[in-house]
Amino acid sequence: MTIERRDVLRSAAMLGLGLAAPAIGQPTRKLGYAIVGLGYYGLGVIIPQFAKCAHSRLAAVVSGDRAKAERVAREHGLSPQAIYSYANFDSIRDNPDVDIVYVCLPNGLHAEYTIRAARAGKHVLCEKPMAVSVAEGQAMIAACKTANRKLMIGYRCHFEPFNREAMRLARSGAAGKIRFVRSEHGFVQGDPGAWRLKRALSGGGSLMDMGVYSLQAAHYMTGEEPVAVTARESTDRRDPRFAEVEDMIDWTLEFPSGAIAGCLSMYSANQNRILLMGDKGRIELEPATRYDGNRMWTGRDGREREVTPPDAQANQFAGQLDHLADCAVSGREPIVSGEEGLRDMAIIKAIYRSAREGRTVRLERGA
C-alpha cells in the first residue's frame, strides 16, 4: 500500500503533474513551518533549506535558548512574535502563519511535541525515529487523526534523487528477482556527552539513529514488509560512550518473497552503503544516504556502470518540506506517514527483542 502510494506520487512527479496542476493539491501560497529545536539539525541543516523550497517557508522557531532564537529570527526576518519557548509552545495555535510544525528534537521528545502541535491544530513533520516506543507512535498518530492534521516522518531518503532512482530501478526489475539487500549505516560517535548516547533522550543507541536508515532502505529497496527478524548486538560496555545505549546491531529481515535484508548500524565505525543483489544484477549506493555526495552503480558482478539520476541535483530537504506542504493543501497522505514510522517502531522493538533473546522474532503482518 505504501509502495502504491509512492509509485503514484513518483509517476505524478516525473510527469511534472505536481507542478503543472496546482488546483489538485499545490499550495497557492508558501506554507509556514515552525522549527522546534535549534540544534545541529534544525538550525544547521533544515532552516537553510527553505531558501530552496517552492511551497514552504520558515514562519517560527521554538527553542529553550531565547538569545539563540532571537538571533535566528533576526537572520531570517521573523518577528519576535514568531519565537516560542517550550513553555509557551501551545500558544502557537493562535499563530495562523504557522501551518506545519517540524519536530527536530531528540527522539525522547518527539511524541510530546508532535501531540502538542496536533492539538494546536498544526500538521506535523517529525524527525526519525518517530518516537521511542510503539505506544508513543500510536498516540502521535491518534492525536493527528483527532485533530485532522497530517503526520509525516522525516524519512528524507524518499526525496533523495539517488535513492529514488534506486527504488525505481529495483521496481523496474533491473536487477531481476531481488534476493538480498545489504544496508549498513554507521559512524564513529566521538562525543560521550552526545544526547544520542543518553537513553532518556535517544531511546536507544545506533539502531535508533543510523539503524533507521538501514531499516528504511530494506523497506524501500525490496518494496516488501518483513515477516521475521533475527538480530545480534555487540557493545563494549566498558566504553564510556556505551554505558546507556548499544554500539552495534546486525539484523536480518525476512520478506514474503524469500528476499532477505541484512542490516547493520553502529557507532564505532564509519559505513554508509546500500546494495541490492538480484539474480540478474545489482544496484549499489555508496555513500548511500548522505546529505549530499551520494553515488550509485549498477552491474552484473560489481560496480560496472555509474548511474546519475536525471534529477541528481534535486534537494532532498526541500523535497521533503514541500511534500508535506503539498499534502497539507491537497489532503493527500504523505508518502512517509506516521503509519510507516509506527511500523518501523514495531520492527525496532522486535530487533531489540531478538538480540536480547538470541532468537528469531516473527513480525505480525502490518506490524
Q: Which residues bind a copy of itself (CB under 8 A)?
A: 177, 179-180, 182, 184, 186, 188, 228, 230, 232, 234-236, 247-248, 250, 252, 254, 258-260, 262, 264, 266, 268-272, 277-279, 282, 286-287, 300-302, 358-360
Distance CA 208, CA 190 (A): 17
Distance CA 199, CA 253 (A): 25
Which CA distances in Å does 101 have to 33, 70, 300, 329?
6, 18, 45, 15
What number of CA atoms fall less than 13 Å from residue 99's CA on the CB side?
Answer: 18
Catalytic annotation present for 128: yes
**Nearest approach, Cβ of residue 200 and a copy of itself (Å):** 25
List the grid coordinates of 202: 535517544
Nearer to a copy of itself (CB atom), residue 29 or residue 359: 359
Q: Which of 79, 81, 84 is nearest to 42 (CA)?
A: 84
Distance CA 4, CA 57 (A): 29
How long is the chain? 367
Distance CA 228, CA 220 (A): 17
Q: Output DSSP code: residue 131.
A: -
**Nearest approach, Cβ of residue 281 and a copy of itself (Å):** 8
Nearer to a copy of itself (CB atom), residue 107 or residue 252: 252
Distance CA 26, CA 104 (A): 25
Exposed e or buried b per residue across 75-88, where buried means at least 16 C-beta atoms within 10 angstroms of its C-beta: ebebeeebbbebee
Nearer to a copy of itself (CB atom), residue 66 or residue 280: 280
The active-site residue out of 30, 122, 128, 150 is 128
User: How many other CB atoms sit within 10 Å of the CB of residue 352?
Assistant: 20
List the grid coordinates of 198: 543518553
Nearer to a copy of itself (CB atom), residue 146 or residue 234: 234
**Nearest approach, Cβ of residue 326 and a copy of itself (Å):** 35
**Nearest approach, Cβ of residue 277 and a copy of itself (Å):** 4
**Nearest approach, Cβ of residue 137 and a copy of itself (Å):** 27
**Nearest approach, Cβ of residue 252 and a copy of itself (Å):** 5
What does the CA dihedral 90, 92, 98, 100 come to, rounded to 10 degrees?
0
Nearer to a copy of itself (CB atom), residue 271 or residue 330: 271
Nearer to a copy of itself (CB atom), residue 30 or residue 282: 282
* Three-state secondary structure call for residue 262: strand
Nearer to a copy of itself (CB atom), residue 151 or residue 361: 361
The active-site residue out of 213, 220, 267, 352 is 213
Distance CA 72, CA 52 (A): 18
**Nearest approach, Cβ of residue 306 and a copy of itself (Å):** 13
The DSSP line for 135-167 is HHHHHHHHHHHHTT--EEE--GGGG-HHHHHHH
Distance CA 55, CA 327 (A): 11
Enzyme catalytic residues: 128, 213
